[in-house]
Amino acid sequence: MSFPGEKVFQLTRPVKYVFQESNENSSFLVVVFSAFHGKESEGKPPTYNYINTLGGCKHNKIFILDDCEGSVCYYTGKNRDFSLESSVVALIVSIANERGIPMENVILCGSSKGGYAALYYGIKYSFGAVISGGPQTFMGNYLSSVSSFTRALIEFIAGDSGEESVEYLNRLIFDQIENKISFPEIYIHVGRGDHHYEGHVKPLMHALDAQGASYELDLAEYDDHGALANYFQGFLLGTLEQVVRSRSV
């Protein structure tokens, strides 16, 4: 059953999304990428995130589903074809252009898998700002360590599940960082005791530091990655307000 208001954008792959237009003629577009739904091992179908959290947000909002032939793919594609990615970028740019929203006012958000996608797209395509919670920057390492379900995703995204494919997925976001000289505003939230901090966020920070990219890190006092969504809600709302306010003066 589709989500109320869900539409499909078609290019290289169909992209399911929900767009909520601003009633106040906002010049900002907030893009939300989704995390896994429930326990990764259960392989539940993709779902939307933070629609209720952003219910009071007055800006244009687009919630995008990570769905490639019924599988999640970190918003990239199947067998390294980047087919879903091409459609997602075209969708974001199309909505922004239709409403006269400049790329620097496109704000990408998400936590966990969605936090990875927000960073990856924001850096690769030079959008304005990224608000990311507990991202899995070493995607290959993460998928290979969680469950049989996530290990199968390595083969779906990269073509097989060998060591080269794991490293290929690990390098996706870091290759983008190394090839950039300018970056979006980057805001990162993670729990101090969450293994994502040591295993994923710190390496991301080192890569950004090496390129002279600035970012803000919010460290919260929790250990369980499963608590991320609850903590990220407040961080998302507060940081979104901060970004918009800084660009509106």
Task: Output the pTM of the full model.
Answer: 0.95
Would you tell me the crossing angle of helices 163-178 and 139-146 to the nearest 10 degrees?
A: 150
Q: Give the C-alpha separation, 88 to 203, whole Å.
A: 27
Q: Give the C-alpha separation, 96 to 121, whole Å.
A: 15
**DSSP helix/strand/coil, 184:** coil
Instruction: Give pLDDT, residue 249.
Output: 63
Strands 129-133, 106-111: pairing kind: parallel
Q: What 8-state DSSP symbol labels residue 192?
A: T
Q: What are the extents of the domains in the chain? A: 6-248
Instruction: Give pLDDT, residue 43.
Output: 58
Alpha helix (H) residue ranges in 108-162: 113-124, 139-146, 148-158
Choosing among 2.60.40.10, 1.20.58.1610, 3.40.190.10, 3.40.50.1820, the CATH entry for 6-248 is: 3.40.50.1820
Instruction: Give pLDDT, residue 38.
Output: 53
Which residue numbers in the chain have pLDDT < 50? Answer: 39-41
